[in-house]
Structure 1
Amino acid sequence: AHFCREKTEDGEYYADEDIADHMAFLMLAAHDTTTSASTMAAYYLSNDRALQDELAAEVRAWPDELSFQTVFHSTNPLICVFYETIRMHPPVPLFLRRSIRECEIGGVRVPPDTMVCIPGNFIHRLPDWWNDPNRFDPSRFSDEVAEHRKHNFMWIPFGGGAHKCIGMHFARMLFLLTFREVLGRYRIEFAKDGYFPAKLQHFPFTRPLDGLPVRLVPR
């Protein structure tokens, strides 16, 4: 509603198609990506009751009003789950960058002004950098292990450099607050036996093909 009342630098209202394009991008970049991460986190947590119980005890011990440090900077166990989920299944599995000068990547010459595809989903599973990369292991992001700190660009679900996703902190906050409420009150279970591992779709965003049927069991 606010956007509909805003004006351009020329003093004109935005055209309907401009508003529609903006809202479509907002849903795609902010809502759908975070939904994908939350869905896949629920998928892995449903397969690990011990981890759920650990997280439930953690979030129940938090004060009602979370500090800025907890929400945006601490590497607590719930944030480790978030980071590991989007390592395994980055909502945006690849992104594009344009070279500003000639360079060489892996022995291949890249001319200036060349579009380069960076596959985060591949980089996140390189065995030379990650220990047992196909295993879901949130502890790899703990301060004690910190696998992701070996290189500045080995964990890139939000991209990197000057064009890093501006919604990164919003996504982290939304995930943390959502799962704090869910795990503090419920246990997440698969709605049917023999569900794990499920068949996944990876485009446009990663999720189980059938939408992940789960039930929330009060604690």
Structure 2
Amino acid sequence: MADRATTFLAPAPAHSGLAPVPGDPGLPYLGYALQTIRDPVGHYRRRYDRHGPVSWGNFLGRPMVSVQGPDAAQVVLGNREKAFASGPAWNFFIGPFFERGIMLLDFEEHLRHRRIMQQAFTRDRLAAYLRRIDAGAGHTVADWRPGRRRMLPLFRRLTLDMAIDVFLGLELDRRETRRVERAFVDAVRAGLAVVRFPVPGLRWSRGLRARAALVDFFAGHIPAKRAQGGDDLFSVLCAARSEDGERFTDADVVNHMIFVLMAAHDTSTIALTTMAYYLARHPEWQERCREESRSLGAGPVDSAALESLPTLDLVLRESLRLCPPVPLLPRIAVRDTSVLGHHIPAGTLVSVTTFSNHRLADYWPDPERFDPERFSPDRRSAITHPYAWFPFGGGVHKCIGLHFADLQVKAVMHRLLRAHRWSVPAGYTWDLDMSTLPVPKDGLPVTLHPYG
């Protein structure tokens, strides 16, 4: 296999002591894309058993090196040698639809933009966002009808409504809200399209139309935001300046708003849906969480109040281990480099496989089992590597909104626990759609029971 790999990846320089990356191309054009989409855990486990932590296979027409294990993840995501870039890699997947979002920038440009964006995620601003999130969650969740409901669309609508309120500060009618939601869904789903050019009616074409609609939507609101200001993220990005007085152009604001709103909407939806799934399957954990939420009371919550819900924190961490919202973190090698003794030529697409990393038995005993106590103070010391668990990425590209996401998810789940119990039939297991980000194919049907 090593000999076959060198016909697709440049061999290591003579006397470098580096090994070629083992692997094989897989199917013509598709490579291993179907296996990655249908069963990422099983596929990468087989690759790991066969080739070790670094291997390659084709993916939608180009070779992709996949790295597994915390040591390999740390090399690529930690990126101490600045050998890997995020932007060109994500551009392959979502660039036409989320152009120049913060995750698609690198090095000095990324640092400049991140410093300006950080003004939207200060402690005071997060506290203001949380007040609006908590109020919105309390009203919305209480209105959910008892009976058979699908949790994925409920959470998706709730998180989008929150994002429009907290991030945009706009009052949109229901029709316009749904148009924005549809555009985000189409843009995200286009990222793993097999046909990667605009055939009418297919994913790529729908994604490009969605991008154009979102650009028009945000650009149309910029003049008022610049003139009137406000405490929402949209207004903050319009007004924010660096220490040198640099501020975002209109195009910068549009690009960042499209990306941040997508990230906040989709990743929080997935985290909430995953928690709801495991709490339905493990009602003893649901009751533990509910008891803490009951003790906290019905009043408004702040960050200190949410920190007093330790069981909810354990459940969130374990849910993010079992179903990280972003299953692959791609990078491009910008120069010849190496990962764990394997030669990585410049221009190589490299992917850190979050789903399989979070289930490696060497670091997670009984990895398929839902066991929130893994993250308890008594057992947390057994997590021996900083890159054993990285649902928010790592290095300089670690999610800028991770603290916002933590507050949002916990606040919503706290309100849900106080308003409802929910259950699934005995033996129910979900089937994940991995064609973009991981979501249950059936929308996670549960039975909601009023509580309180």
Q: 1:110 is matched with which residue? A: 344
| 1:176 is aligned to 2:410 | yes
Q: 2: distance between equivalents of 1:156 and 1:12?
A: 30
Q: CA deviation at 1:103?
A: 4.4
Q: Which amino acid aligns with 1:198?
A: W
More helix by share: 2
Q: Return the TM-score normalized by structure 1.
A: 0.83
Q: 2:290 is matched with which residue? A: 56
Q: Deviations over 1:21-41 (max 9, x none)?
A: 544323321101110111111
| 1:212 is aligned to 2:448 | no
Pick closer, same or farther for the CA change 1:99–1:13 going to 2, 3 Å: closer
Pick closer, same or farther for the CA change 1:129–1:74 going to 2, 3 Å: farther
Q: Return the TM-score normalized by structure 2.
A: 0.43
Q: 1:85 is matched with which residue? A: 319
| 1:4 is aligned to 2:222 | yes
Pick closer, same or farther for the CA change 1:69–1:105 going to 2, 3 Å: farther
Match of 1:200 among 432, 448, 451: 432
- Give the gaps of 5 or more residues in structure 1: none
Q: CA deviation at 1:216?
A: 2.0
Q: Deviations over 1:59-114 (max 9, x none)?
A: 1112545454454x678110111111111111101112345665432331224665
| 1:154 is aligned to 2:388 | yes
How many matched pairs?
A: 214
Q: 1: distance between equivalents of 2:253 and 2:302?
A: 37
Instruction: State whether residues 140 and 147 of structure 1, in contact with CA within 8 Å, keep that contact through their aligned partners in structure 2.
Output: no
Q: 1: distance between equivalents of 2:390 and 2:410?
A: 19
Pick closer, same or farther for the CA change 1:187–1:116 going to 2, 3 Å: same
Q: Which amino acid aligns with 1:176?
A: K
- Give the gaps of 5 or more residues in structure 2: 1-167, 170-220, 227-237, 240-244
Matches within 5 A, 1:118-129: 118-129=352-363
Q: 1: distance between equivalents of 2:381 and 2:363?
A: 8
Q: Which amino acid aligns with 1:77?
A: T
Q: 1: distance between equivalents of 2:440 and 2:278?
A: 11
- In percent, how many aligned pairs have the same letter? 35
Instruction: State whether residues 433 and 441 of structure 2, in contact with CA within 8 Å, keep that contact through their aligned partners in structure 1.
Output: yes
Match of 2:371 among 132, 137, 158: 137
Instruction: State whether residues 274 and 319 of structure 2, in contact with CA within 8 Å, keep that contact through their aligned partners in structure 1.
Output: yes
Q: 1: distance between equivalents of 2:384 and 2:246?
A: 48
Q: CA deviation at 1:50?
A: 1.1
